Structure 1
Amino acid sequence: MLLSREKKTADMRGAYGDALVELGKTDPRIVCVGGDTTDSLKTKKFGDKYPERMFNVGIAEANLVSIAAGLAIAGKVAFASTYAAFIPGRAVDQIRNAICYPALNVKLVVSHGGLTVGPDGASHQQIEDFSTTRAIPNMHVVVPADAIAVKHLIKAAANTPGPFYIRLARPTTELVYAESITSDQFKVGRGNVLIDGSDATIMACGLMVEKALQAASMLKREGIFVRVVDMFTIKPIDLDLVTKCAKETGAIATAEEHNIIGGLGAAVSEVTGETYPVPIKRIGVRDTFGESSRDEEVDTLLGKYGLTAMEITRAIVEARSRIRR
């Protein structure tokens, strides 16, 4: 069983810290590099358990990336973490040349991506990181939907050679996946079909997966049965699954907490454009900056920018109306 039947919430950052501790027990190569955000990213859990393998370099993101690269050259599996506003933003050169060009075993795990940073406002609401990182050769780009997915995808990243960019959310989020799910369900470069349907497909990542499931329930009441895919790996995108969904359902809506330019919607459009063109509607931030909001008003902020289940349902209806009969 894939989906959780209980309404439970959990913290992605806490799951990340726990996953690092578990990996550290069996793999002495695991090290962690922090950018003065170890409390917030919960990597302090790893540092408390394995202090000789924890390196806090302060507010110096370019150094953080370069030090992680050096550790990888020395044979370590280096997890480097801070906020999405600072990586990739302040260290693109180092990410490109020090990590991705030599294809080093560095895993960049960031939090506070998207609009749900809330009070920190536009300067810290990272909405262009998917497009930046997926354009760099050798980089994997992964966006977990919940804390359960984080646990399994951190393990998958540790066991997959090469550079990773993994984006976590700041808020505590509702669990999408059943706690009993196994790591076999989370293959890098694949997506998970959470609900099957033949009338259209919703492909979502991160926090938008839960909203995609809500949209599917709303559409079902209208007699529209959609397939919902958690496309947690944006790069490499699951070519076979995207093409299969295009052929079998005829229309696609994508949903992401990111600019519609260069992110998940763009990746899916690129695949279908080359393999099996179908109508696509992209739900995301429409090439604009965000704004500050109180934590308790984050859902209102998402609504203002169209990142809601209702907008996904409208996108599906519009995409289906453009299917050539």
Structure 2
Amino acid sequence: MSEVITDVPTEAPSEWARHHAVPTREAYRRTLLDMARLDPRIFCVDSDMGGLEDGFGQELPDQYVNVGIAEANLMGVSAGLAHSGLLPYANTISSFAASRAAEQVKIDVAGNNLPVRIVVTHAGVSAGHYGPTHHALEDIALIRPLPHMTLVVPCDAAETEAAVRATADLPGPLFLRLGRARTPMVNTEPYEFRLGEARLLREGEDVTLVATGPYPVVMALEAADLLARQGRSARVLNMHTIKPLDVAALGRAARETGGLVTVEDHVRIGGLGAAVCEAVAEDHPCPVRRIGVPDAYLDFVAGERSLLEHVGVSPERIAEAACDIVGRRG
């Protein structure tokens, strides 16, 4: 069962989230309950995730449904609720949503353009302590091509809350990709979350680092610091929305800097790096280096950051890729 934190001032959740490095999934759960208290259309559809029944289910039992460990049924039930005019939030693990329930997500949810919010946790290698069966390293590649789908990957607890609130009235389906454990805070000051608009975290002229998700964004900022000590200026973009992608920001980066380095907790095939390559190849060709998980089965157990660094997703590798681009430019 997930950790339950009780000292939450629900009257000011945004301020609370900015100052507590809680897991993104905990920030989401608090925000969902806060929103559901005011909107009876919001339903929490659980797949026996643990913790939701004690929080949401106890307080709002008439807006809570637990379908059990049955992910395909989770999507079907959620689609039915959405078709009835409700706003279901379907909760499961990312590897289960993108693989086990792929047909139902494709046909029942995306195919019918229904406002089902598919909220997944344990994305990437954030459940690395469970081993490779719980890795979700291909979910973006599987979800991104689906029609009508919006795909959001917040970088911390504060951005998670902002994203949940910003997508509350989204007319179509949403795939919200979250982690499991605590991750560092990136946003300590309030800002306006804009769906489909990358957030500029740092100005730079030599190269642009484009990252998505908690540790990739943190590592991109750390890599920018490494590059600064070498006299190189790196722009850092937090690409929290994978679909729709901020093509305009990428175009500016391609024109104004020497090239792009993408960073993600996902295989290099079909994820953020692939989406960025597709975008710049059409209108603004430039060098792109993709930092992500290689095409391999990670058959070992470790923490999230340790796993990422082991396979080459690290500030040092990001900086090396950036230097390669800058060197070619010079």
Q: TM-score per shorter chain, which class?
A: over 0.9
**Residues 62 and 318 from structure 1, CA distance in 2 versus in 1: closer, same or farther, beyond 3 angstroms?**
same
Matched, 1:254 2:262: yes
Alignment correspondent of 2:197: 190
Alignment correspondent of 1:13: 25
Aligned mate of 2:232, from 224, 234, 238: 224
The CA distance in 2 between the partners of 1:116 and 1:138, in whole Å, is 27
What percent identity do the matched residue pairs reach? 38
| TM-superposed deviation, 1:7 | 9.0
The CA distance in 2 between the partners of 1:228 and 1:7, in whole Å, is 22
The CA distance in 1 between the partners of 2:32 and 2:305, in whole Å, is 30
SS in 1 for 2:231: coil
Structure 2: gaps (5+ residues): 1-17
Aligned mate of 1:275, from 273, 280, 283: 283
Contact 1:17-1:44 at 8 Å conserved across structures: no
**Residues 95 and 241 from structure 1, CA distance in 2 versus in 1: closer, same or farther, beyond 3 angstroms?**
same
Contact 1:110-1:167 at 8 Å conserved across structures: yes
Alignment correspondent of 1:313: 319
The CA distance in 2 between the partners of 1:123 and 1:317, in whole Å, is 35
Alignment correspondent of 1:300: 306
Contact 1:279-1:322 at 8 Å conserved across structures: no
Which region of structure 1 is more displaced relative to structure 2, 104-113 or 119-128? 119-128
SS in 2 for 1:253: strand
Contact 2:129-2:301 at 8 Å conserved across structures: yes
**Residues 43 and 233 from structure 1, CA distance in 2 versus in 1: closer, same or farther, beyond 3 angstroms?**
farther
Matched, 1:204 2:211: yes
Structure 1: gaps (5+ residues): 1-5
Contact 2:132-2:301 at 8 Å conserved across structures: no
Alignment correspondent of 2:292: 284
Matched, 1:181 2:190: yes
Residue type at the aligned position of 2:206: D
Aligned mate of 2:134, from 124, 130, 148: 124
The CA distance in 2 between the partners of 1:164 and 1:44, in whole Å, is 25
TM-score (norm: length of structure 1): 0.92
Contact 2:197-2:245 at 8 Å conserved across structures: yes
The CA distance in 1 between the partners of 2:271 and 2:280, in whole Å, is 15
- Give the aligned CA root-mean-square deviation in angstroms: 1.5
Contact 1:115-1:290 at 8 Å conserved across structures: no
TM-score (norm: length of structure 2): 0.91
Residue type at the aligned position of 2:294: R
